[in-house]
Amino acid sequence: MARAIWTGSISFGLVNIPIRLYPATEDHEISFRTLHDKCNTPLEYKRYCPVCKTEVSWENVDKGFQVTKGKFVVLKKADFERIKLKTTKTIDILQFVNAARIDPIFYNKHYFIAPEKGAEQAYSLFKEALELSGMMALGKVVMRNREHLVALRWYGKGLLMSILYYKDEVKSPEDFEEIKQLVAVRSDAQLKLARLLIDQLAKEDFEISDFKDEYRRALQQLVSAKLKGEEFLVEKPPTVEAARDLMSALKASVEQFKKKKKKKIEVEAR
């Protein structure tokens, strides 16, 4: 059974909805331990002071804000206690906004919101109101000693809370010289071919299940083969000759996808 990572309530106006938060996503990346190549023993990482030449325990650890190289403003545990955020256990709704108005770049982590026992009616009403209006609820919540900006929206039969990055946490394309110095060079012929290439790959509906993590699959097969003492053969990808110029690359790409599409139709017709 899934374990809630936070319990509290949604608060807007005089309405209070007791809820629980559950992680909405999980990482399926295969993890490895680092081993000593001579004896396959897992390596240990320790807190070591190169000046005192000694290992340091957690009770002797402070935090420092680096001002210049080698110079720090030192903060003790008591300093952090002085500015500790008040844990209200409440998602305070501040405003409602059209969901389409939030750029996807601001989305960070996602959590499913479930109602506490006895709060089902208020929860369902709030969810249906958001669904019918097409709006998102924007609010703030304190979690893990940090104040987060969050967006609440309907998702399937329930509610989803997304933590948003603040404005100053998202970089601008103008921060990168390569992008800043770009000059638009338009060629109608190139643009027409590029649009044609997009049309070849376009689909009306997006199905996330169409996409698989091929590297993770190969890694799992490799681990399984080594566990059984078997040899794992990897297929080499076909070599693709680089096109001499952009127009040639676009034309070759369009022809390539036309052939693939034709072959797929022929296979399905058999």
| Per-residue pLDDT at 56 exceeds 70 | yes
Dihedrals φ, ψ of 18, to 5°? -65, 130
Domain(s) of CATH 2.40.290.10: residues in the chain: 6-25+84-169
Q: Which CATH architecture has domain 6-25+84-169?
A: Beta Barrel (2.40)
Tens digits of residue pLDDT in 180-209? 888 777 788 888 888 888 888 888 888 888
Question: How high is the mean pLDDT of the chain?
Answer: 88
Give the model's pLDDT for residue 251: 81
Q: What is the DSSP string of 92-137?
A: EEEEEEEGGGS-GGGEEEEEEEEEPTT-HHHHHHHHHHHHHHTEEE
DSSP character for 19? E
Mean pLDDT of 259-270: 74
pLDDT tens column, 92-142? 999 999 988 999 999 999 999 999 999 999 999 999 999 999 999 999 999
Alpha-carbon distance 128 to 116, whole Å?
17
CB 154 within 8 A of CB 48: no
Quickly list DSSP for 220-265.
Answer: HHHHHHHHHT-----PPPPP-PPPSSHHHHHHHHHHHHHHHHHHHH
Helix or strand holding residue 153 (H, E): strand 146-155
Lowest-confidence segment of 26-40, 72-86, 142-156 by average pLDDT? 72-86
CA distance 4 to 19: 10
- 90 Cβ neighbours under 8 A, 6+ residues apart: 8, 9, 10, 11, 141
| pLDDT single digits (tens) 210-249 | 888 888 888 888 888 888 888 877 777 666 666 567 778 7
